[in-house]
Structure 1
Amino acid sequence: MKTQAAFSNRFQSFSERNSNLLRLLAVFVIVFAFFAITKQGAFLKPETFASMAVQLPEYSILALGVALTLISGGIDLSVVGIANLAGILMALFLSTAATDAAPDAVPLYIAGAAAIGFLVGLSCGAFNGLLVSRFRIPPILATMGTMQIFTGLAIVITEGKSVSGLVPAYEHGINSALFGWLPVPLLMFIACAAWVSFVLNKTNYGQKLYMLGTNEKAAAFSGIHTNTVLMKTYIYSGLLAIVASLIMMGRNASAKADTGSSYTLQCVLICVLGGVKTEGGFGKVSGIVVAVLILQTISTGLNLFREINNFYRGLIWGAVLVAVLIANCIIEQKEQAKLMKKLSMEEAAEA
């Protein structure tokens, strides 16, 4: 119990010292102001913000799952593969079983497709968790391998083709807007973000996850079943991937094995930019949300510059990721130096 209290106090003190959220908000204001000034006529339009609200939820929900695994001290690179595999199976079910169904039965078929998706997410997440917790395979290698497995299965099932012909009721439901202005995908992201925040901050699992990411051996000695926590973490990541898959399938009106191929890099970038420590033990949903807003603003703003080709997008995201990692390293070194100086002064005063 003393060890758990020490972990909790350590995390709390580090959380209080962390100013990453304020820095993120400042960056968001700067980025937003830049595009608002340079592309005022095109950027400051209701249509632009509506487009942003529709585009950001799918990879943002995937990023929430990646964030959970990063906090545990691991990573999940297979989220896009899980989402595409589940999307293909759900699309096949809807395109074959529900196309000729009576209107009253369509909601049942949609619920059945969603159940298939969540079963896939549960199974894939559990498989990842088993590899990481039971067989002790490094998470980056385990999920890189399963990413190829899940993507390969999707390609084998579809022979590389897209699966279309979804029931119109599903497409209409996913792409609709509450009150005429609040997109359903955005509501789904808000619900997922709220759930992840609750799990991290208000449950025993969340406290154990932070402790596990801080020091796995110490967490185990304090009585935490680390394998159980890891299994839950990768299962949660798989289930969040299915929520994103539902949005991707509805927005594209189809499912394909290579949908969202750039999302893996974006998810990692969102987590790192949002303050999730790559070595584990720290991360906040609020930081992830602001990071999502920053990246979506940059993405939308870049689209307004016709001279910037879309082929440069991966180059830009990679450069931003490296720059953020370097900046975080410098900031963390400065904070550690200040902390050590403060501790040495306190020890000198006590002496």
Structure 2
Amino acid sequence: MKNSRFAFLQNLGSETSGLSVILIVVAVAFSFSSPKFLTMANLESMGFQMPLLGLLTLAMLAPIVSGGFNLAVVFTANMSGLTLAWILIQFGGPDAGIGAFILGCLAAMLVGLLAGAVIGVIIAYVGAHPILVSLAMMVFLQGLGEFLTRGGDISGFPDYMRVIGHGTLFYIPVPLILFGIVAVIWHILLKRTKHGFSVYMTGSNILAAEYAGLHTKRTLVLIYTLSGLLCSVAGILMAARFNSVRVGHGEALLLITVLACFLGGIDPFGGKGRVVPVIISLFILQILSSGLNLIGANQHLATAVWGLFLIAVMVMRSDLVRTFASYVRKT
């Protein structure tokens, strides 16, 4: 029995275990600070808010694990949402049928796939730096979106889209269910498939991966293509949540996706990281945001706390702290 428990804790990993403790401590602290924290209304609100950030964070995760970056995640989502909105408007806007919605979703996902594939192809076959390529794509999508919308937003969608953005199933928010499904698929993709193995090997040492016979160029293209696809799903959810689409929606989420990845143990230099700790870090960030809001703190304080939180985590993971901890255990 003890051996099975020890094996279970080993499978969880120190990263997951540590973040789980932080999650519990933060949740308990806010439950005492505000009687509204553990109410169904607040929990449901968090369940609606987190999935959008979660999807964009998962879209950022694989590129970072591969040793790269995708700065275009937010604007890829926005452009995908604009594509869906444009098709719905062409078919009557609020009166558009399910067929138009399905067509719009397919077109939105195609836009996300293409944006990600272009980034991946340039990184893999031209050899340009991922930050520069994704930054260029971000600027291109932002400019194109501003040109097409004249800086405004598109609204007026069918009522059935509210189910995706605001509906519940057995009291569980539909966006949270969508995020859970995607997270499981992402975990399996990275940990149980050849593609996932190639992602980690590419991030650890791309030359060694090539010498080992892995098709690293194809892996890089697929990484960014799937990242773009996931951004399109986030764009569809964004349109359903806000009942409107604008190029600037969610701009502030870009840096938070990076924060969530690093807080979840993703190595900024690539080759290391898992989905589960990142999901726990997302819950921690959401609890901090909601908890601070409930106790009456300024909403901008949450961003400052997130930054301090990440600094603290980086310090705790530093070699100096690890060496000191090892010395204390030996003595």
Using structure 1 for the length normalisation, give the TM-score. Answer: 0.86
- Asked whether 1:78 is paired with 2:72, we answer yes
User: For residue 24 of structure 1, what is the amino acid of its counterpart?
Assistant: L
User: For residue 84 of structure 2, what is the amino acid of its counterpart?
Assistant: M
Larger Rg: 1
What is the alpha-carbon root mean square deviation over aligned residues? Answer: 2.1
User: For residue 243 of structure 1, what is the amino acid of its counterpart?
Assistant: V
State the alpha-carbon separation in 1 of the partners of residues 321 and 189 from structure 2: 27
Which of 276, 281, 306 matches 1:317? 306
For residues 288-307 of structure 1, the aligned pairs below 5 Å read 288-306=278-296
Given that residues 95 and 167 in structure 1 are in contact (C-alpha distance below 8 angstroms), is that contact kept between their aligned partners in structure 2?
A: no
State the alpha-carbon separation in 2 of the partners of residues 38 and 336 from structure 1: 32
Alignment gaps of 5+ in structure 2 = 1-9
The answer for the alignment partner of 1:136 in structure 2 is 127
CA shift at 1:246, angstroms? Answer: 1.2
CA shift at 1:141, angstroms? Answer: 1.8
Given that residues 88 and 104 in structure 2 are in contact (C-alpha distance below 8 angstroms), is that contact kept between their aligned partners in structure 1?
A: yes
For residues 254-333 of structure 1, the aligned pairs below 5 Å read 254-306=244-296, 308-330=297-319
CA shift at 1:25, angstroms? Answer: 0.6
Shift of the 141–332 alpha-carbon distance from structure 1 to 2, 3 Å rule, reads: farther
Count of equivalent residues: 319
Using structure 2 for the length normalisation, give the TM-score. Answer: 0.91
Q: Secondary structure at the match of 1:42?
A: coil
The answer for the alignment partner of 2:157 in structure 1 is 166
Shift of the 283–150 alpha-carbon distance from structure 1 to 2, 3 Å rule, reads: same
State the alpha-carbon separation in 2 of the partners of residues 44 and 332 from structure 1: 35
CA shift at 1:336, angstroms? Answer: 11
State the alpha-carbon separation in 1 of the partners of residues 200 and 189 from structure 2: 11
For residues 197-212 of structure 1, the aligned pairs below 5 Å read 197-212=187-202
CA shift at 1:109, angstroms? Answer: 0.5
Alignment gaps of 5+ in structure 1 = 1-14, 342-351
State the alpha-carbon separation in 2 of the partners of residues 151 and 313 from structure 1: 27
Can you list the C-alpha shifts for 1:209-252, whole angstroms capped at 9, x where unaligned?
Answer: 11111111100111111110000000111011111111111010
Q: Secondary structure at the match of 1:255?
A: strand
Q: Secondary structure at the match of 1:172?
A: helix
Shift of the 301–156 alpha-carbon distance from structure 1 to 2, 3 Å rule, reads: same
Shift of the 142–334 alpha-carbon distance from structure 1 to 2, 3 Å rule, reads: farther
- Asked whether 1:334 is paired with 2:323, we answer yes
Which of 52, 58, 77 matches 1:64? 58
Given that residues 33 and 295 in structure 2 are in contact (C-alpha distance below 8 angstroms), is that contact kept between their aligned partners in structure 1?
A: no
- Asked whether 1:235 is paired with 2:229, we answer no
State the alpha-carbon separation in 1 of the partners of residues 287 and 12 from structure 2: 28
Can you list the C-alpha shifts for 1:42-79, whole angstroms capped at 9, x where unaligned?
Answer: 11201000000010001101111111111101111110
Deviates more, 1:208-217 or 1:137-146: 137-146
State the alpha-carbon separation in 1 of the partners of residues 284 and 12 from structure 2: 23
Shift of the 331–73 alpha-carbon distance from structure 1 to 2, 3 Å rule, reads: farther
The answer for the alignment partner of 2:31 in structure 1 is 36
For residues 52-201 of structure 1, the aligned pairs below 5 Å read 52-99=46-93, 106-179=97-170, 181-201=171-191
Can you list the C-alpha shifts for 1:192-224, whole angstroms capped at 9, x where unaligned?
Answer: 101111111111111111111111110011111
CA shift at 1:332, angstroms? Answer: 8.0
Q: Secondary structure at the match of 1:163?
A: strand
State the alpha-carbon separation in 2 of the partners of residues 301 and 17 from structure 1: 27
CA shift at 1:149, angstroms? Answer: 1.2
Can you list the C-alpha shifts for 1:9-68, whole angstroms capped at 9, x where unaligned?
Answer: xxxxxx9795111110111011111101111x1112010000000100011011111111
Percent of aligned pairs sharing the same letter? 31
